[in-house]
Structure 1
Amino acid sequence: METQVFVQRRKALKISQVKLCQGICTQATLSKFESNRRVPALSILSKLCVRLGMTVDDLYQGESTAVELQTKLDAIERELMVENYQGVLKRLAKIDAKQIDALNSKMQLCYLRGIVNALINRQPDDILFDFSQILNDLDEKHQTIFTQLAFLGSGIMYDRHQQQKQASFYFDKVYQYIRLNQHTALGDENQYYLRVLTLIFFTAEFYTAQQNYRRSNWLIEAGLKICCDERVTYYLPRIKFLAAQNAINLRHDATEIQQLLDETLAFARINRNEVVQVKLAALKCQFKQQCSN
C-alpha cells in the first residue's frame, strides 16, 4: 500500500490531520497510518479516502513491490532455519524497511533482524529495539506469534550474556505458550508451523543446557510431531541432535543413542546442514568417551 500517495494528496489539498479524521477516527490512528506503522480498518480507510476524493484502490499502486518484498523476507526466514546466519545478514542488508507497508511484514522484518543479531551476539540495545517494536507497537495486544518470537529472541539474547534469570523468564513464557497451544490447528498461515518449530527448538535447547530434560524432551517430541504432520525437514537435524544430546546426558541405552546419532547425520546431510554435522562429530566423541568409562 502506497501511503505516501495518501499523504501527498492530503497535503496538496491543504487538509490537516485533525480536520481529515474528524468524525471518522482519532488523529493517532491517522498518524500511525501515514507513518506506515498501522493500516486502519477498511471502513475507516475508505471514509478517509472519500474525503480526499480518492479510493482505497488508488493506494495499491506498488502492490507488486510488496509481493516481491514478502518473498524476500520468507526466503530470509528459511535461511535462518538452516543456520545460514551470514546469508541472513547479507539478505537483510538489501531490504529497505521504508518500502514495507504490511503490518505482518514489518513484524517479520523486526523479528528476523532481532533474532539473528541475538544469535550472533550483537549489542543488546539493537536486539531489544527490534523486539520492542513488535511488543510495544506492531503487536501491542500480543495477539500474533511474533510476540512469542520476540520473547524467544529476548531469551536467547539474555542466555548468550549469561543472564539466566532473565533468560528463564522469557523461555518460560514461550514454553507455556506452546503447552497451551499444542492442540491448536496450525491452519494455512504462511510459515506458521515453521515459526512454532523455531520456538520449540531454541526453547528445548535452553532447557537442555539447564539440565531440565523433562521440558526439553517434551518439546522435542512436540517438534518431531509437527515435522511428521507437516512433512518438513528443516528442523529435523537440529531436533534429532538435541534428542541425542539428552539421551547421552541421561545415559540411555547405547543402541538408542546410536540410532539417534545416525538419524541426526542422515537428516543433516539431506538438509545440507553443515553446522549440525560439525556439532555431531563432537557429540559422537563425547558418546565414545562415555562408553569407554
Structure 2
Amino acid sequence: MNIQRFIDARKAQGLSQNELAEGICTQATLSRFENNGQVPNLKILIKLCNRINLPLSELFPKVGVKYSEIVEKMNKAEFFLITSKYEKANSLIDSIDISQIEDTQLVLRYHYLNGFIMIFQQQPIMDILFTFDRVLLEEETMDALIFRLLAYTGIGMVYSREGDLEKAEFYFNRILEKIYNYPAKNMEDTWRVLNIVFQCGVFYAKMEELEISDALLHYAVTICSDNHVTYYLARAAIQLAKNAIVNNKPTDIILELIYDARAYSKVNRNDIALAELRDLEASVLENNS
C-alpha cells in the first residue's frame, strides 16, 4: 500500500492528522496508519480518502491494465536483448519510470534487463554490480529465483569481462547448482533459462573447459528444440564452432556448425551473427587453404 501517497494528499489539503481524523477515527488510529503501516478498517480508510479527495485505488499497487504498457515494453526489451538488439532494448528500458512500479516481479525484471543491457553496452563494472545487487537484496522467494540466477549470471559475466575468472567462476558455479532443476513456467522463463545456460557455456569456453562448455551449449540446443525456440540456436552453434576450432576438430565439422548457425541466423534475421559467421568462415578457410 502506498501510504506516502496518502500522506502527500493530506498535506496538500493543508490538514493535520487531528483535523483529518475528526469525526472519522482517533488521531492515534491515523498516526498508526501513517507512521507504522497499520491499516484501519476499510470503512474508515474510505472516509479518510474521501475527505482528502484521494481515490482509494491510488493507495494500492498498480496491477492488470495499469501495468499493461510497462509489461509490453519489458516484453519487447527482453526480445531485443535475446536477439542482440541492445540499443532498442535500452531505449525501451529507459522509457520506464521504475519509481511508478510497486509489483516486485516487475521491479526484479526491470533490474535484470537493465543489468544485461549495461553489460553489452560496456558500462562501468560498479554500476552493473549495483544494478544486480538490487535484485539480490530482494526477499529470496521461488518467484524471484530466476531473477536471482540471472543476477548471478550477469555478475559472473562482468567479472569474466574484467579478467577476474576466479570470481566469475564462483557465481557461475552457484548458477549450475540450481538451473538444471528450474521449472520454467512460460516462454519468458524459457528465454531466461536459455540466456543463463548459454552464458555459462560461453564462460566455460573462455576457461578452456570445453567439455563443460559443449555440454551446456548442447543443453541449450535441446531446450530450443523442445520448446520450438530458435533465437539461441545460432548463438549456441557459433560458440560450438569456436570450441571445435580450439579443439582442432576437422574442418568439415567446423564448417557444418558454421552453416547451421548461418541458417538459424537467417531465420531470425540476426545480422550481427551473420557478420560474425562470415568472418569465422573466412578464417577457417584461410587457415586450411
Structure 1-normalised TM-score? Answer: 0.80
Instruction: Provide closer, same or farther for how the CA distance between residues 67 and 203 of structure 1 changes in structure 2, counting only shifts above 3 A.
Output: same
Which region of structure 1 is more displaced relative to structure 2, 162-171 or 216-225?
162-171
Amino acid corresponding to residue 209 of structure 1 in structure 2? K
Amino acid corresponding to residue 99 of structure 1 in structure 2? Q
Unaligned stretches of 5+ residues in structure 2: 11-16, 22-26, 50-54
Amino acid corresponding to residue 270 of structure 2 in structure 1? N
Cα contact 2:184–2:193 (8 A) shared by 1: no
Instruction: Provide closer, same or farther for how the CA distance between residues 7 and 238 of structure 1 changes in structure 2, counting only shifts above 3 A.
Output: farther
> How many Å separate the matches in 1 of 2:9 and 2:124?
41
Say which of 224, 228, 231 aligns to 1:227.
224
Q: Give the secondary-structure state (helix, strand or coil) at the position aligned to 1:52.
A: helix
Q: Give the secondary-structure state (helix, strand or coil) at the position aligned to 2:245.
A: helix
Deviation of 1:145 after TM superposition, in Å, equals 0.4
Deviation of 1:287 after TM superposition, in Å, equals 1.8
> What's 1:34 paired with?
none
Amino acid corresponding to residue 92 of structure 1 in structure 2? I
> How many Å separate the matches in 1 of 2:206 and 2:163?
12
User: Map of 1:264-275 to 2, 5 A cutoff?
Assistant: 264-275=261-272
Unaligned stretches of 5+ residues in structure 1: 31-43
Cα contact 2:81–2:89 (8 A) shared by 1: yes
Instruction: Provide closer, same or farther for how the CA distance between residues 116 and 51 of structure 1 changes in structure 2, counting only shifts above 3 A.
Output: same
> What's 1:20 paired with?
33
1:186 aligns with 2:184: yes
1:250 aligns with 2:247: yes
1:288 aligns with 2:285: yes
Q: Give the secondary-structure state (helix, strand or coil) at the position aligned to 1:223.
A: helix
Cα contact 2:84–2:272 (8 A) shared by 1: yes
Amino acid corresponding to residue 167 of structure 2 in structure 1? Q
Considering only aligned residues, what root-mean-square deviation do their CA atoms show, in Å?
3.0
Amino acid corresponding to residue 19 of structure 1 in structure 2? R
> How many Å separate the matches in 2 of 1:112 and 1:82?
13
State percent identity of aligned pairs.
25
Deviation of 1:168 after TM superposition, in Å, equals 1.5
User: Map of 1:1-293 to 2, 5 A cutoff?
Assistant: 13=21, 19-20=32-33, 27=36, 30=37, 49=42, 52-53=45-46, 58=57, 59=60, 63-136=64-137, 138-140=138-140, 143-179=144-180, 181=181, 185-188=183-186, 191-292=188-289
Deviation of 1:120 after TM superposition, in Å, equals 2.0
Deviation of 1:16 after TM superposition, in Å, equals 7.3
Larger RCO: 1 or 2 (CA < 8 Å, sep 6+)? 1
Cα contact 1:155–1:168 (8 A) shared by 2: yes
Deviation of 1:15 after TM superposition, in Å, equals 6.3
Amino acid corresponding to residue 272 of structure 2 in structure 1? V
Cα contact 1:201–1:223 (8 A) shared by 2: yes
> How many Å separate the matches in 2 of 1:57 and 1:19?
18
> How many Å separate the matches in 1 of 2:43 and 2:199?
48
Deviation of 1:153 after TM superposition, in Å, equals 0.7
Deviation of 1:253 after TM superposition, in Å, equals 3.1
Which region of structure 1 is more displaced relative to structure 2, 69-78 or 90-99?
90-99
Deviation of 1:227 after TM superposition, in Å, equals 0.4
- When the two structures are aligned, how many residues end up with a matched partner? 267
Deviation of 1:79 after TM superposition, in Å, equals 0.4
Cα contact 1:134–1:140 (8 A) shared by 2: no
Cα contact 1:2–1:62 (8 A) shared by 2: no
Amino acid corresponding to residue 151 of structure 1 in structure 2? Y
Deviation of 1:17 after TM superposition, in Å, equals 8.1
Deviation per CA, 1:219-263: give whole Å up to 9, x if none: 111111110111011111101111111122212233322221111
Deviation of 1:178 after TM superposition, in Å, equals 2.5
Deviation per CA, 1:156-211: give whole Å up to 9, x if none: 111111222211111222223224x1xx54233x5001000000111111111221
Amino acid corresponding to residue 154 of structure 1 in structure 2? I
> How many Å separate the matches in 1 of 2:154 and 2:280?
26
Cα contact 1:9–1:52 (8 A) shared by 2: no
Cα contact 2:46–2:56 (8 A) shared by 1: no
Q: Give the secondary-structure state (helix, strand or coil) at the position aligned to 1:67.
A: helix
Amino acid corresponding to residue 185 of structure 2 in structure 1? G
